[in-house]
Structure 1
Amino acid sequence: MTYHDTQESLQANARWDKPIHHERPIRVICIGAGASGLLFAYKLQRSFRNFSLTVYDKNPEISGTWTENRYPGCACDVPSHSYTYSFFPNPDFTHYYSGSAEIRKYFQKFASTFGLERFVKTQHEVKAANWDDAQSKWVVEVMDVKSGEVITDSGDFLINATGFLNNWQWPKVDGLDTFKGDLAHTARWPEDLDLRGKRVGLIGNGSSGIQVLPAIQPYVSSLTTFIRHNTWITKPFGKSEPRPFTEEELHEFRNDPSTLLEHRKEAESDMNNMFGVFLKDHPIQQDARKMNVEAMEVRLNKDKELSTRLIPDWSVGCRRYTPGPGYLEALQAPNVNVVYGGVTEVLPNGCKTSTGEVFELDTLICATGFDVSHRPRFPLVGKDGVNLQDTWAKSPRSYMSMGAPDMPNYIMVMGPNSPSGNGPVLSAIEAQVSYALRMIDRLQTENIRSFVPKDSAVETFNDYVDTFMEKTVWKDVCKSWYKNGTTNGRVTGLWPGSTLHFLEAVREPRWEDWEVSYEGNLFSWLGNGYSQCETTPGADLAWYLCDEDRTEWGSRRKRREEEIMPTTAKVEKNSGEKVEEKRQAENGGLRRDSAAAVA
C-alpha cells in the first residue's frame, strides 16, 4: 500500500466514526492582503471553524494597491460609497470621490474591526507554489522580505488575491537606468520627493498620469508630458463632480444609517445602470460619444490641435474611462509642454523623442501602469507538473474568471475576465469570495481531495467570451489593458456582461464543470449515520416544523425577486396585482439616461 493509499484510507475511515458533514481540519493559504484578501479572511472566519489561514502580502502594510499608490492626486474614480463592501459602509468618507489615503484607512479599519491582522503576514512574498498530488496540498515557498529567508508552507486550498493592478512596471525604454535625476514610478512614489521648482517629465497618459499631472503642475518649474495615445477624458463615474461632502451631509451619514444607505444605493445603481455604453451602436454609446466630444472641446477651449490629438476616433469605453478633473485645463497651463509621441531613449539629463528632440529634466515620473497579463508572477505548478506561467504565456484562459486549468483547489479573485470595469468592483469581489467558500465548505465536509476545472469547461467558457466581446466597444482598435496592453488582442480584463450579470452567473457553482477527486468511498462523508443536529447539545430536533412555509424558494426567479423587488412590489406580486409602473424608455432592457453617467 502506498503512502497516498494509506492517507486516503485513514481520512476516509475517520469519517465513519463522525456524523454526516464532519468538518475536518483544513488549512488555507491566501496571497494578497488588499480588498480581496481581507474580505476572504473576514468571510472565512465568519462562517468556518476548525481551519487555519495565513494571508501573505509583500508590502509593509495591508490594503494592496491603495498601500502602493500614494502619488499626488491618487484617487478612486468611482463614488466613495460605491467602493465599500456591501455590509460595511463608511460614513467618514470626506469626499464624493475618495483619495488613496482615505481608502487605505477604510480597509485598515475593516481589518481592525474584525481582528483580521492575526491572519496576515506582511513583508512576506510568495515566490513559488507547487501542487503535491500525493498529499493533495499546495506547497508554497515564501520569502521574508526583510531577512531574505525563504520558508515553506502548505495548505489544502490556495487563494490568489493579488489583484490585477498590483505588479507595476517600468517603461520599456533604453537608458532608463542612466538617468541622474530623481526617477519615480506612480506605484512606488518616494515619500520625500520634492518637485517644487523642478523640471519634470511625465511618461504615460493613462489613469495615473491623468491624475498626477494636475496635482503637481502648480508646483513645478516646468512639466513636459509625453503623450503617445489619445484618450477619452470623461467626468468621474456617478452624478456629482469631485467635491467634499458638506458638514450637513457628513452629520447625516454618521447619525442616520437610512440616509447613508439611500445615498449608497443611488451611487451603486448609477454604476449598475451604465452597461449599455459598452455595446457597439447602442443608443447610450452614441449619446455618450456625442456628449463627451462636446465636453472635451469646451474644456480644451476649442483648441483644434489639442482636440485632434486627444479626442479618440474609437468608442467611449474601449479602454478604461479616464476621469480627469483639471487634467485638460492643466495641459493648457503656461508651464506645461505637451509632446506628442513616445520617449525613445532616456539620457542622464533628460529624454529623447522619435524626432531626435531632447528635453532636459531634473525629475522623471513614469506613470506606466502594471503588468496586466494575469500570468502568475511566480512559478505556479499544478497537476502533472503544468506551470500556469507557461500555459498563460500568450493569453490567460480562465474558468469563469476564478478557476485555472490544471490547478486543483485554486481560486483567483479578480482573475482573467472578471468584471473589473463593468460596474461596481467590490460587489464582484464579494461574489468571487463566496464562490471560493462554497468550494472550501465541500472540501472540508466531504471526503474530497481536489477540484479542478474541466478542460472542456475552460475552452467553451472562453469561446463564449470571445464571441460575446465582438459586439462590445472593448474590441475597437485602441490600446487597452483590457487587452493586455495590445490594440487588437483578446479581451481578457473584463467579464462578458454587466456586474449584475456576473453576480447571477456565479451565485451557484456549476459542479458539473469541475473534475472532483475523492478519497476512499465516494459516500464516506455520510459518516456514522447521525446528523449534526443529533450531536449538537441543545439542538432543536424538530427544527423543520413551523407555522408557515419558510423554506427557500425553489426557483431562481422567486429567489431573485425576494432580493431585488421592493417590499411593496413583493406584496403586490403575491396578491396578483401589477408589480411595476410603466417602464422608462428602454432599448435592449437598458435605460436611456445611462449615457449621462458617462458624459
Structure 2
Amino acid sequence: MSLKTNSRLPVGNKDFTNATVVIIGAGISGMCMAIDLIKQNRCRNFVILEKSSSVGGTWSDNKYPGCCCDVWSSLYSYSFEQNPNWSREYPSQEEIHAYLVRVAEKYGLFKHIRFSSTVEAAGWNEDESKWKVSVKVDGQKDSEFASSYTLDADFLVSAVGQLNLPREPNIPGLNEFQGKMMHSARWDWSYDFSQKRVAIIGNGATAAQILPEVAQVASHVTVYQRTPNWIAPRLDAPVSAFHQALLTYLPPIRWRKRALQMEFRELLYAAITDNDSDFAQMMRDGCTNMMKTHFPDQPQLWEKLTPNYAPGCKRVIISDDYYPALARDNVDLETRPITRITQKGIEVGAEDSQQYDLIVLATGFKTVEFMYPIEIYGKNGRSLGDIWKDGATAYKGITVEDLPNFGMFYGPNTNLGHNSIILMIEAQSRYLNTIVAEVIRARQQGKTLTITPKLEAMKEFNGRIQTVLRKTSFADPNCNSWYKTDDGIITNNWSGTVIDYQLELSELHWHDYSIEGSGKDAILAKKNVKLGRVREESIFSDSTLLLGALGIVAAAGGYFLAPRWRRTR
C-alpha cells in the first residue's frame, strides 16, 4: 500500500475513512488548527469531527440566560480575524457564536466538518504509523448510512477543550426531584421559568450570569453557595456605531485598543497569582468595597460573601449585576450545606426544606479529566489513563508521551485566569502545524514519520512550571477549584503570563522529540525551528499610530475627492 498522500485535496467519498489530519472538536481551537492547516501548510486533507450540530464548542453548548464572555470582545477573537463590529465591550454567547460561524464560512471549514460525530476511541497502529479513530454517528439521518466507522489519520489533534463535559454535584436524591432540573450547559429554552420558584446550585461565574436574568421574572430565587467568590466590576457598555466605524475604517485604532486591553490583562497576572503583591491587595480592596456599597450596614452578609482565600485561587468573577440581583426582595442566599434533594425541592439542615419548580445546576465541568470519556491508546497499546494516572501532564501543554503524531489544544497547564485563551490557542496552533508539516512532507515522499516528546523533556518542563505554580495563589489550600486535582496538583493553569507562553512556543526544539520512521533523516539534519509569535502588545507609540491613522484618512479622502477621470485612468 502506498504511503503517499495529496494533502491539498479535501477528503472525498472514496477516501471517506482516510485523512492526513483528524481534528476532534469544531470550537475555537479546532477551527484555528484547521485555518492554519490551510494557510500555513496548504493542507485541505483534514476532517473535523464534532459531536454537536454546530461550530463554536463551548459557545454552542452554553446557551443559558445571560451567557457572555468575561474577556473584552476586542480581545476575544482571532488576531487574524478581528471583529470591529462587536455590539458591547463584553460579548454575549449569541454574538460570539455568530462570529465563529462567520469565520468558519469565510475559510470554507464546513465542508471539512462532520457534525453529530462522536469520537469514542483512538488507537495508534504501529505497523501503519497511523491513528485509528472510532467514530459514532449520532444524527438520525446520517446514522442510516453508517452508525459507526473507523477513520485513519497520519496526525490526530484533540481540540475538545476543558469546559465541555458538565459536572453534576454529588448530592443525595439528585435524581428524585420531580420538577424541572437542568445543567447550565444544557439549558432548555422551551421551559418558561417566569413566575416560578427557582433554585440555583452554585455561585461561580455561570451562576453570576444566570441569576440577574432569572431573578427579573421568577417569583423567587435561592442561590445555594458553598464558598464565596471574589467579584470585581465588569464595567460593561455598548459600543456605539461611531466607535465601530473607527475600529472598522481605522485599523491602527483597533490594533491599539486590542494591545492596551492585552497589556492591562497581563498586569492582572500578579493580582491573581501573588497574594502578597500590591495588585492583589488592590483587588481585595476593590472587590470588598463594591460588595459593601451594594450591601451597606449588613456585616452578617459581608461575612458570607467575603472569601478567606487569595484572589485567583478560584476564578475571579467579573460582574456588574450579581450583587444588585442578590439584593432583590425575591432572591435569597443560602450558605448552609445541602442535605439532600427531595421530590419537591431542596433540604438543608435537619428539617428545613424549600420547594422549587426549577433547579439549575451551575456546577461547572469535569475539568481535570482531560479528553474524558474518549479512550486513547498510544504506543504498545498504552492507555492515556495509565499515562495520566498521577495527573494530566503534557510537554508545553501540547504533546504527550507515548502518543506519536498527536497534539492537543487547551491541554494540561494551559488555562488562564487573567487573559484571553485565544492568545494561547494561536501559539499552540502555530507550533502544532510546524510538527504536522514534517509528517505531511514525509507522507508525500512515501515515507513514514512519527514524532513523540521525550520523557526527559516532559519531566523538565512540568517540573519547572509546577515549581512556580506551588508558590502561586492557585495553590492556596483555603479553596478548592477546578484548577487542581483533589490532592492539590494544579493540572489546568499556566504558570506565567500569555507572553511567557508565547515565548515558550516561539521555537521548536527537535532534540526534545523522539523521531522515528523512514523519513526521520530530514528532521535529524535540522536545527531548532524559530516560529516567532504574534506580538500584539504595543509596538508603536500613540502618536505614531495617530499619524498612521491620519495618513489613512488623508489617503482615502484624497481618493474620493479626486476628479473621476483621475480615478479611472
TM-score using structure 2 length? 0.86
Quote the offset at 1:482 in angstroms.
Answer: 1.0
Task: Give 1:471 deviation, angstroms.
Answer: 2.0
Q: What is the SS of the residue equivalent to 1:467?
A: helix
Q: Quick one: which of 119, 128, 135 aligns to 1:126?
A: 119
Q: How does 1:146-185 map to 2 (within 5 A)?
A: 146-147=139-140, 149-185=147-183
Query: Cα distance 1:520–1:429, how it changes in 2: closer, same or farther (>3 A)?
Result: closer
- Name the CA distance, whole Å, in 2 between partners of 1:469 and 1:368: 25
Pairwise CA distance, 1:173:
1.6
Q: CA RMSD in A?
A: 2.5
Aligned to 2:11: none
Label 1:95 to 1:460 Cα distance change in 2 as closer, same or farther (>3 A).
same
Give the whole-Å Cα distance in 2 for the aligned partners of 1:141 and 1:180.
37
Match of 1:427 in 2: 423
Whether 1:261 aligns to 2:255 is: yes
Of 403, 406, 430, the residue aligned with 1:407 is 403
Task: Tell me: CA distance 1:523–1:494, structure 2 relative to 1, closer, same or farther (3 Å).
Answer: closer
SS of residue paired to 1:225: strand
CA 1:561–1:74: 2 relative to 1, 3 Å:
closer
* Structure 1 residue 489: Cα displacement: 0.8
* Paired residue type of 2:499: L
Question: What per-residue deviation string (whole Å, max 9, x for no partner) do you get for residues 165-205 of structure 1?
Answer: 11112222222222111111110001212111001111011
Match of 1:111 among 94, 104, 108: 104
Q: Secondary structure at the match of 1:482?
A: coil
SS in 1 for 2:483: helix
SS at match of 1:209: helix
Alignment of 1:4-83 (within 5 A): 27-49=20-42, 51-83=44-76
Structure 2 counterpart of 1:214, from 198, 212, 215? 212
**Correspondence for 1:205:** 203
Q: Partners of 2:420 and 2:113 in 1: how far apart?
A: 26
Alignment check: 8 A CA contact 2:34 2:109 kept: yes
Residue in 2 that maps onto 1:482:
483
Count residues with an aligned counterpart: 515
Residue 258 of structure 2 contacts residue 536 of structure 2 at CA under 8 Å; is this kept in 1?
A: no
Is the 2:232–2:286 contact (alpha carbons within 8 Å) kept by the matching residues of 1?
Answer: no
Q: CA deviation at 1:458?
A: 1.6
The answer to whether the 8 Å contact 2:427/2:533 transfers is no
Spell out structure 1 runs of 4+ moving beyond 6 A: 559-565
- 1:362: which partner in 2? 357
CA contact (8 A) 1:200 1:222 kept: yes
Residue number among 294, 299, 302 corresponding to 2:294 in the alignment: 299
Deviations 1:190-232 (A, max 9, x none): 1212111001111011110111011110100111111111110
Note if contact 1:272-1:424 (Cα within 8 Å) is conserved in structure 2: no
Question: For 1:261 and 1:312, how far apart are their aligned partners in 2?
Answer: 37
1:394 to partner: Cα distance: 4.4
Structure 2 counterpart SS, 1:165:
coil
1:444 counterpart = 2:443: no
Give unpaired runs (5+ residues) of structure 2: 5-17, 545-569
Gaps of 5+ in 1: 1-6, 13-24, 527-553, 572-599
**Alignment check: 8 A CA contact 2:508 2:530 kept:** no
Change (3 A) 1:381 1:560: closer
Q: Distance in 2 between matches of 1:565 and 1:90?
A: 19
Task: Sort the Cα spacing of 1:157 and 1:358 in 2 relative to 1 into closer, same or farther, 3 A.
Answer: same
Flag the 1:520–1:356 CA change in 2: closer, same or farther, 3 A: same
Same amino acid, percent of matched pairs: 29
Alignment of 1:197-596 (within 5 A): 197-236=195-234, 241-277=235-271, 278-377=273-372, 378-446=374-442, 447=447, 449-477=449-477, 478-484=479-485, 486=486, 489-519=488-518, 522=521, 566=539
Secondary structure class of the residue paired with 1:445? helix
Cα 1:524–1:351 shift into 2, 3 Å: closer
Going from structure 1 to structure 2, the CA distance change for 1:441 and 1:201 (only over 3 Å counts) comes to: same
* TM-score computed with the length of structure 1 as normaliser: 0.81
1:75/1:100 contact within 8 Å kept = yes
Paired residue type of 2:223? T
Instruction: Please tell me the residue identity of whatever aligns with 2:539.
Output: P
Query: 1:188 and 2:183 equivalent?
Result: no
Q: Which amino acid aligns with 2:494?
A: W
Deviation of 1:256 after TM superposition, in Å, equals 2.8
What amino acid maps onto 1:255 in structure 2? Y
| Aligned counterparts of 1:555 and 1:60: Cα–Cα separation in 2 | 38
The 1:286/1:152 distance shift into structure 2, 3 A limit, reads same
